[in-house]
Amino acid sequence: MDLAFTKEEQAFREEVRAFFRDNVPPDTRRKLVEGRHLTKDEMVTWWRILNKKGWGVSHWPKQYGGTGWTSVQHYIFNEELQSYPAPQPLAFGVSMVGPVIYTFGNEEQKKKYLPRIANVDDWWCQGFSEPGSGSDLASLKTKAERRGDKWIINGQKTWTTLAQHADMIFCLCRTDASAKKQMGISFIVFSMKSKGVTVRPIQTIDGGHEVNEVFFDDVEVPYENLIGEENKGWDYAKFLLGNERTGIARVGVSKERLRRIRDLAGKVESAGRPIIQDAAFREKLAACEIELKALELTQLRVVADEGKHGKGKPNPASSVLKIKGSEIQQTTTELLMEVIGPFAAPYDVHGDDGSNEAMDWTAQIAPSYFNNRKVSIYGGSNEIQRNIIAKAVLGL
């Protein structure tokens, strides 16, 4: 047992940190610190900088452009990225569809899609959830019918994140209605510009536009856009969801936010002195930092375990990451609300689509709090996570 980072790992951290310092556009960083949204251009610009450096798809196999880093290096990279902060790579492309394509796709598909994912030439979105299929994802109804060399797709997806920017979608579609619900699903990718695709925005309680409904009305898709085998889509979906076990804790994001809270709490006054001098507030902040330290260690245990024993067998501790990670993220936004107090109220009617520079930084605090309620719902709600622990870990 050796709980310290090696000299090489520490040097790697310095290298990564220096790269972010020299290459993340300052406005992009500032907007993230202030909890603002970024424009599509700002995000894509940064991802291309990262890709040029060779770090855009760092965890992919080397032959597809990955880095060959160790688990610990990936951990360090992600932590530094999140806590600098800089935008994380577009998960839908880099962490989700990319690995499915290089694992289950054919050579042609790999050649066609992977470089474009890495350089964000295509912005991908995820077509999984449906109005009637949330936690019970396998009950999905969107239908893909084979007609000659085409699929005809009909149905509706929802909660499709940033579909308004998307060029491509990867979609779970029912291709065999007679099979048991998990067995008749296929994994199909297609252009969002296809005829019959309609995107309708969903305004969320923070006032923002992050998610969408996507409708498919007789959308024609080439048969070759099927990834892997027909009716094996559920297996690929499970692979995809199990792929990112450690990133979900978002330790770096919470760290950065706690630093900001500490900074603001030293400036914002309460009872004639900075609120950080209020013992009750200070203890609440410390309590959150302690929880985060415990989570960071839990995450490191999972990372070290993967590095040593491979990713095959999930470490039981990994189930903790989603639950605690989301709770802590939510607590940090509550603490920010507490710091800002009555000035959380003013609402900027122009909203924050990344271009509203006139918006006061305080106006984003409450929306960020409202928005973060999502983190215990998405990616398998925390209740689903508890079901998983009960079944897979405790054997109940």
Partner 1 sequence: MDFDLSEEQRLLKDSIDGLLTDSYDFESRKKYMKEKGGWSKTVWLKLAEQGLLGLPFSEADGGFGGGGVETMIVMEALGKALVLEPYLATVVIGGGFLRHAGSDAQKAAHAPGIIDGSKTLAFAQLEKNSRYDLFDVATTAKKKGDGWVIDGEKFVVLNGENADTLVVTARTKGDRRDKTGVGVFLVPANAKGVTKKSYPTQDGLHAADISFTGVEVGADAAIGNPDDSLALIERVVDEARVALCAEAVGLMDESLKTTVEYIKTRKQFGVAIGSFQSLQHRASDMFVATEQARSMSMFATMANDFENAKERSNAIAAAKVQIGKSAKFVGQQSIQLHGGIGMTMEAKIGHYFKRLTMIENTFGDTDYHQRRVADAGGLI
Q: Are 58 and 94 in contact (CB under 8 A)?
A: no
Regarding 110 and contact with partner 1 (CB under 8 A), the answer is: no
34 is catalytic: no
Q: Enter the tokens of residue 246.
A: 């450690």
Among 11, 18, 179, 297, binds partner 1 (CB under 8 A): 297
- Which range in 43-51, 180-188, 203-211, 294-302 contacts partner 1 by CB under 8 A? 294-302
Instruction: Please tell me the distance from the alpha carbon of residue 248 to that of residue 323, in angstroms, as a whole number.
Output: 9
Residues 4, 271, 349, 358: which binds partner 1 (CB under 8 A)?
Answer: 4
Task: Name the β-bridge partners of 216.
Answer: 155, 197
Contacting residue, 44, 162, 249, 300, with partner 1 by CB under 8 A: 300
Does residue number 291 form part of the binding site for partner 1 (CB under 8 A)?
A: yes
Please tell me whether residue 147 adopts helix, strand or coil conformation: strand
Tell which positions 62-101 bind partner 1, by CB under 8 A. 72
Residue 259 in the binding site for partner 1 (CB under 8 A): yes
The residue to which tokens 């924050």 are assigned: 352
Single-letter code of the amino acid located at 164: Q
Alpha-carbon gap, residue 25 to 31, rounded angstroms: 10
Minimum CB separation of residue 273 from partner 1 in Å reads 15
DSSP per residue over 302-369, as a string?
HHHHHHHH-SSS--TTHHHHHHHHHHHHHHHHHHHHHHHGGGG----TT--SS--TTS-GGGGHHHHH
Cβ neighbours of residue 252 closer than 8 Å, sequence gap 6 or more: 78, 79, 80, 81, 82, 83, 85
Tokens 């991908």, residue located: 124
Binding track, positions 315-334, relative to partner 1; x by CB under 8 A: -xx-xx--xx----------
Q: Which of residues 370-389 bind partner 1 (CB under 8 A)?
A: 383, 385-387, 389
Instruction: Examine residue 310 and tell whether it contacts partner 1 (CB under 8 A).
Output: no
Q: Establish if 301 lies at the interface with partner 1 (CB under 8 A).
A: yes
Among 9, 230, 244, 327, which one carries the catalytic annotation?
244
- Residue 174: which H helix or E strand, with range? strand 168-174
User: Using the rule CB under 8 A, is 393 a contact of partner 1?
Assistant: yes
**Measured distance CA(319)–CA(316) in Å, rounded:** 6
| CB nearer to partner 1: pick between 49 and 384 | 384
Residues assigned a catalytic role: 244
> Residues in the site for partner 1, rule: CB under 8 A?
1-6, 9, 72, 255, 258-259, 262, 279, 282-283, 285-287, 289-295, 297-298, 300-301, 303-305, 307-308, 316-317, 319-320, 323-324, 383, 385-387, 389-391, 393-396
